[in-house]
Amino acid sequence: MALTFYWYAKCGTCRKAKKWLDDNGLEYEAIPIAENPPTKEEILSFMEKADVAPKKFFNTSGKKYRELQLKDKVNDMTKEEMAELLASDGMLIKRPIVTDGNKVTVGFNEETFAANWLA
Protein backbone atom coordinates (compact mmCIF):
# COMPACT_ATOMS: atom_id res chain seq x y z
CA MET A 1 0.00 0.00 0.00
CA ALA A 2 1.28 3.45 -0.90
CA LEU A 3 2.10 5.87 1.87
CA THR A 4 0.73 9.36 2.29
CA PHE A 5 3.56 11.84 2.83
CA TYR A 6 2.63 15.32 4.12
CA TRP A 7 5.60 17.59 3.56
CA TYR A 8 6.86 21.11 2.94
CA ALA A 9 9.30 21.31 0.03
CA LYS A 10 11.43 24.07 1.61
CA CYS A 11 11.92 22.03 4.80
CA GLY A 12 15.32 20.31 4.99
CA THR A 13 13.97 17.54 7.23
CA CYS A 14 11.17 16.85 4.73
CA ARG A 15 13.66 16.67 1.87
CA LYS A 16 15.77 14.17 3.85
CA ALA A 17 12.66 12.08 4.54
CA LYS A 18 11.65 12.19 0.87
CA LYS A 19 15.14 11.08 -0.18
CA TRP A 20 14.97 8.22 2.34
CA LEU A 21 11.59 7.09 0.97
CA ASP A 22 12.93 7.31 -2.60
CA ASP A 23 16.19 5.52 -1.72
CA ASN A 24 14.19 2.69 -0.16
CA GLY A 25 11.88 2.37 -3.15
CA LEU A 26 8.71 3.17 -1.24
CA GLU A 27 5.63 4.41 -3.07
CA TYR A 28 3.96 7.48 -1.64
CA GLU A 29 1.62 10.32 -2.45
CA ALA A 30 3.33 13.62 -1.60
CA ILE A 31 0.92 16.22 -0.26
CA PRO A 32 2.11 19.81 0.31
CA ILE A 33 1.17 20.42 3.93
CA ALA A 34 0.99 24.23 3.69
CA GLU A 35 -1.49 24.16 0.80
CA ASN A 36 -3.38 20.99 1.80
CA PRO A 37 -3.15 20.45 5.56
CA PRO A 38 -4.87 17.37 6.95
CA THR A 39 -8.39 17.96 8.30
CA LYS A 40 -9.24 18.05 11.99
CA GLU A 41 -10.64 14.51 11.70
CA GLU A 42 -7.49 13.26 9.95
CA ILE A 43 -5.28 14.85 12.61
CA LEU A 44 -7.32 13.26 15.41
CA SER A 45 -6.93 9.91 13.66
CA PHE A 46 -3.17 10.50 13.31
CA MET A 47 -2.96 11.33 17.02
CA GLU A 48 -4.59 7.99 17.86
CA LYS A 49 -2.25 6.02 15.60
CA ALA A 50 1.04 7.82 16.23
CA ASP A 51 3.44 6.75 18.91
CA VAL A 52 3.85 10.31 20.22
CA ALA A 53 1.93 12.69 22.48
CA PRO A 54 -0.59 14.94 20.68
CA LYS A 55 1.45 18.07 21.46
CA LYS A 56 4.33 16.56 19.42
CA PHE A 57 2.28 17.33 16.30
CA PHE A 58 3.15 21.02 16.69
CA ASN A 59 6.06 22.53 14.78
CA THR A 60 7.58 24.17 17.86
CA SER A 61 10.36 25.83 15.88
CA GLY A 62 7.96 27.52 13.48
CA LYS A 63 7.36 31.26 13.33
CA LYS A 64 3.58 30.85 13.62
CA TYR A 65 3.94 28.71 16.78
CA ARG A 66 5.96 31.48 18.41
CA GLU A 67 3.64 34.25 17.17
CA LEU A 68 0.63 32.52 18.72
CA GLN A 69 2.61 31.87 21.93
CA LEU A 70 1.49 28.26 21.85
CA LYS A 71 4.27 27.07 24.14
CA ASP A 72 2.25 28.39 27.08
CA LYS A 73 -1.14 27.25 25.76
CA VAL A 74 -0.68 23.80 24.22
CA ASN A 75 -0.50 21.91 27.55
CA ASP A 76 -3.99 23.15 28.49
CA MET A 77 -5.60 22.27 25.17
CA THR A 78 -7.75 19.22 24.49
CA LYS A 79 -6.89 16.92 21.60
CA GLU A 80 -9.87 18.34 19.70
CA GLU A 81 -8.65 21.92 20.22
CA MET A 82 -5.15 20.96 19.11
CA ALA A 83 -6.45 19.19 16.00
CA GLU A 84 -8.68 22.13 15.08
CA LEU A 85 -5.80 24.59 15.40
CA LEU A 86 -3.38 22.34 13.48
CA ALA A 87 -5.90 21.82 10.66
CA SER A 88 -6.30 25.59 10.33
CA ASP A 89 -2.66 26.14 9.30
CA GLY A 90 -0.33 23.49 7.86
CA MET A 91 2.70 25.49 8.97
CA LEU A 92 1.81 24.74 12.60
CA ILE A 93 2.20 21.00 11.99
CA LYS A 94 5.46 19.19 12.66
CA ARG A 95 6.52 17.60 9.43
CA PRO A 96 6.77 15.36 7.64
CA ILE A 97 3.80 13.20 8.57
CA VAL A 98 3.77 9.77 6.96
CA THR A 99 0.92 7.30 7.18
CA ASP A 100 -0.22 4.07 5.61
CA GLY A 101 -3.67 4.35 7.16
CA ASN A 102 -2.71 2.20 10.16
CA LYS A 103 0.54 3.73 11.43
CA VAL A 104 1.69 7.33 11.58
CA THR A 105 5.15 8.86 12.00
CA VAL A 106 5.75 12.53 12.80
CA GLY A 107 9.04 14.17 11.88
CA PHE A 108 11.95 12.26 10.39
CA ASN A 109 14.13 9.77 12.19
CA GLU A 110 15.84 7.13 10.08
CA GLU A 111 15.42 4.36 12.66
CA THR A 112 11.75 5.17 13.18
CA PHE A 113 11.16 5.25 9.43
CA ALA A 114 12.97 1.92 8.96
CA ALA A 115 11.01 0.29 11.80
CA ASN A 116 7.66 1.53 10.48
CA TRP A 117 7.98 1.68 6.72
CA LEU A 118 10.34 -1.16 5.85
CA ALA A 119 8.70 -3.78 8.08
CATH number where 48 lies: 3.40.30.10
pLDDT (mean) for 40-45: 98
pTM of the model: 0.94
Range of the domain at 10: 3-117
Q: Closest by alpha carbon to 32, among 83, 100, 97?
A: 97
Q: How many domains does the chain have?
A: 1
Distance CA 19, CA 96 (A): 12
CA 73, chain centre distance (Å): 20
- Over residues 52-101, the pLDDT tens digits come to 999 999 999 999 999 999 998 999 999 999 999 999 999 999 999 999 99
Distance CA 21, CA 4 (A): 11
